[in-house]
Structure 1
Amino acid sequence: MSWVNDIRVIVGLDFGSTYSGFSLYHVDSDDIKTNNEWPGDMGKFKTNTVLQYDDDYKDVKSWGQQALYRKPNKKSKDKEMKPVELFKLYLGNCLEKHRPRLPVDYKKAISDYLCEIGKVIKETIPKYWMGIDFMENVLLILPVPAEYSELDKAIMRECAFNAGLINNRFSEKLQFTTEPEAAAVYCTNNTLKQHNLAEPGTTFMIVDCGGGTLEMKL
């Protein structure tokens, strides 16, 4: 666990079915920085989990909110290039009938999206703290739905590696937590304390209404 001593910044990356975002935390500060600057969009804590590819569906041309507004290419045979979205639904126990038809493999879409949002993360960290080596000094926390199997998390780990967020597939600098657990920790340290409810024996429910799933935990 010697790598823990190298960690200076913790990144909480919320990769959602329809919207995604991230927050930053420095170990020497109590201040959490939540990003609200995205390509072509400012002032929002999250951006769309959407990709727009080139005509061959090989390279990403735009992502986030911008991917929803690509103008048709007059030279393209398909003048209505539809954005690629909801690819996260290929993980977990989502029924086949609810999964969208994708023009690319869902793992490629996840990897490409993580790569794009990863670029923003890497550009944002130096705005607050200089001298941070992303691969050496950053711990990435990725909340996932409670239903995710070990295989689902292994796929997410593979995609994070392909996206350049970790330097090897088994890096301990990528850790998973469930989305209800992350919400419960926040509530315990914030809302419950504000109302003097952070006492042993207090029972509360987490209701996570996401873009593609709904989870409730006690």
Structure 2
Amino acid sequence: KSWPSFVVVVAIDFGTTSSGYAYAFAKEPECIHTMRRWEGGDPGVSNQKTPTTILLTPDRKFHSFGYAARDFYHDLDPSESKHWLYLEKFKMKLHTTANLSINTDLHAANGKRVKALDIFAYALAFFKEQALKELSDQTGGEFDNSDVRWVITVPAIWKMPAKQFMREAAYKSGLVSRENPEQLIISLEPEAASIYCRKLRLHQMVDLGTQTTQNGFSPSDNVGSGMSQGDRYVVVDCGGGTVDLTVHQIRLPEGHLKELYKASGGPYGSIGIDYEFEKLLCKIFGQDFIDQFKIKRPAAWVDLMIAFESRKRAAAPDRTNPLNINLPFSFIDYYKKFRGHSVEHALRKSNVDFVKWSSQGMLRMNPDAMNSLFKPTIDHIIQHLTSPASGSVGHSARREIQTLMQFGDTEIRAMAVDVSTGRTVKASIDFLSH
């Protein structure tokens, strides 16, 4: 079917940390609907999407996805949970595996192996079911899959085997068939973001404050309306797992995009901050304990990382008061059994000065501690933005810009300061609210 003969286009954003979908009917292509909010959520965290977590039964059958998977797994008795297969943040495997194939394995939280293709197929089948159900509810009748053109977004820096892997998973899931491959489009994330941002009104991207115009354009102007033939811009897609960097140039009169530099980037997403937190815990409590705790109390480990996620989002460079991270009781209890002394004792003995023990049973991190967890990830992004591979060097019109970025689940907040003039621009982009 050609585009006009599909009734609706459904795009699945299969993210490292969270996933979701949006759809638009062919008769109103610019009217984009985001998926309805689902049950569940985290205290202190605002989510439009659902976590990319999947739970299989002990006999390896699909059980649940997202909050439902995480909450069910959390409520299992520890003696039961070790038999269930719980997976999260598994998308990164497609980026990090050098010889990716349909036989590539993933490791569940209990250490058991499972075929990556099966997991991705289960996830896509889940989104297919959810989207078709929502479309049926919207239209008041049974919605047929053949009327849907599916889009799956992938990082531009993924190699061809990873992109082909997603297509194979789509075939296996029943999303589309091999006989109708054109029903599925594998779209590059920065290209989708680039087209989307050009459609936005200026005030939706830039915090204009009291200004009525910005570079001669009013807040109601399209971002793309201010672009001329030959204009170039950088799309920096900061996700949970990877950061993609693409340089595009405007080609008029059609407004087509030309990719000036090969997409580049790396595993510099926000889960890098989680890894730094885990390294900090290992430094305080010992790698051997953390490894054992993750295996013996996997649900409690998930709880701990949820608590950290909430605090991570509350972090800011100008914050002056400490951040408290709640330690699950089973962490405190298991540590005492494992080491023979208390968590408080471990903190006192460690050389980590900026993390203290709170009498309420929390890790008390001063702002410098949290900033240090962000630093390696931010340094990677800055280093890449200023590298020759990004196409940002060698141009005479270079200016020194300092940028502060805050990662959210579906939102990126950025503040850029022109060092020479002190001029500041703030931008807040929420990819699911417009």
With the shorter chain as reference, the TM-score category is 0.7 to 0.9
2:76 maps to 1:48:
no
Aligned partner (choices 168, 181, 193) of residue 171 of structure 1: 181
Aligned partner (choices 100, 107, 116) of residue 101 of structure 1: 107
The aligned residue for residue 126 of structure 2 is 116
**Percent of aligned positions with the same letter in both sequences?**
26
The aligned residue for residue 156 of structure 1 is 166
From the superposition, tell whether residues 14 and 145 of structure 1 become closer, same or farther in structure 2 (CA, over 3 Å). Answer: same
- Alpha carbons 1:161, 1:169 under 8 Å: kept: no
**Higher RCO (CA < 8 A, seq sep 6+):** 1
The aligned residue for residue 35 of structure 2 is 35
Give the whole-Å Cα distance in 2 for the aligned partners of 1:141 and 1:170.
14
The aligned residue for residue 91 of structure 1 is 94
Give the whole-Å Cα distance in 1 for the aligned partners of 2:82 and 2:179.
37
2:239 maps to 1:210:
yes
- Alpha carbons 1:8, 1:132 under 8 Å: kept: no
* Superposition deviation, residue 149 in structure 1: 2.8
- Alpha carbons 1:146, 1:178 under 8 Å: kept: yes
From the superposition, tell whether residues 28 and 209 of structure 1 become closer, same or farther in structure 2 (CA, over 3 Å). Answer: same
Residues 11-44 of structure 1: CA deviation (Å, up to 9, x unaligned):
1110111110111101112321101322545x84
- Alpha carbons 1:9, 1:138 under 8 Å: kept: yes
2:150 maps to 1:140:
yes
Give the whole-Å Cα distance in 2 for the aligned partners of 1:208 and 1:116.
26
The aligned residue for residue 18 of structure 1 is 17
- Alpha carbons 1:142, 1:175 under 8 Å: kept: yes
* Superposition deviation, residue 64 in structure 1: 0.2
- Alpha carbons 1:16, 1:88 under 8 Å: kept: yes
Q: Which amino acid aligns with 2:63?
A: K
Aligned partner (choices 72, 96, 99) of residue 76 of structure 2: 72
Residues 162-195 of structure 1: CA deviation (Å, up to 9, x unaligned):
2121133652110111101000111122256535
2:228 maps to 1:199:
yes
Tell me how many residue pairs correspond in the alignment. Answer: 213
Give the whole-Å Cα distance in 1 for the aligned partners of 2:13 and 2:172.
18
Residues 48-83 of structure 1: CA deviation (Å, up to 9, x unaligned):
000111123x1122210122222224763837x462
The aligned residue for residue 62 of structure 1 is 64
- Alpha carbons 1:86, 1:100 under 8 Å: kept: no
Provide TM-score, normalisation by structure 1: 0.84
Give the whole-Å Cα distance in 1 for the aligned partners of 2:121 and 2:78.
29
- Alpha carbons 2:136, 2:143 under 8 Å: kept: no
SS in 2 for 1:17: coil
Give the whole-Å Cα distance in 1 for the aligned partners of 2:200 and 2:81.
54
* Superposition deviation, residue 95 in structure 1: 7.1
Residues 121-171 of structure 1: CA deviation (Å, up to 9, x unaligned):
111112323557433211111111112233222211111122121133652
Greater Cα radius of gyration, structure 1 or 2:
2
* Superposition deviation, residue 214 in structure 1: 1.0
The aligned residue for residue 195 of structure 2 is 185
- Alpha carbons 2:106, 2:114 under 8 Å: kept: no
SS in 1 for 2:177: coil
Report which stretch shifted further, 46-55 or 120-129: 120-129
2:137 maps to 1:127:
yes
Which structure carries more helix by proportion? 2
From the superposition, tell whether residues 191 and 183 of structure 1 become closer, same or farther in structure 2 (CA, over 3 Å). Answer: farther
Structure 1 gaps, min length 5: none
Structure 2 gaps, min length 5: 100-104, 203-220, 248-434
Q: Which amino acid aligns with 1:177?
A: S
Q: Which amino acid aligns with 1:123?
A: K
Q: Which amino acid aligns with 1:186?
A: Y
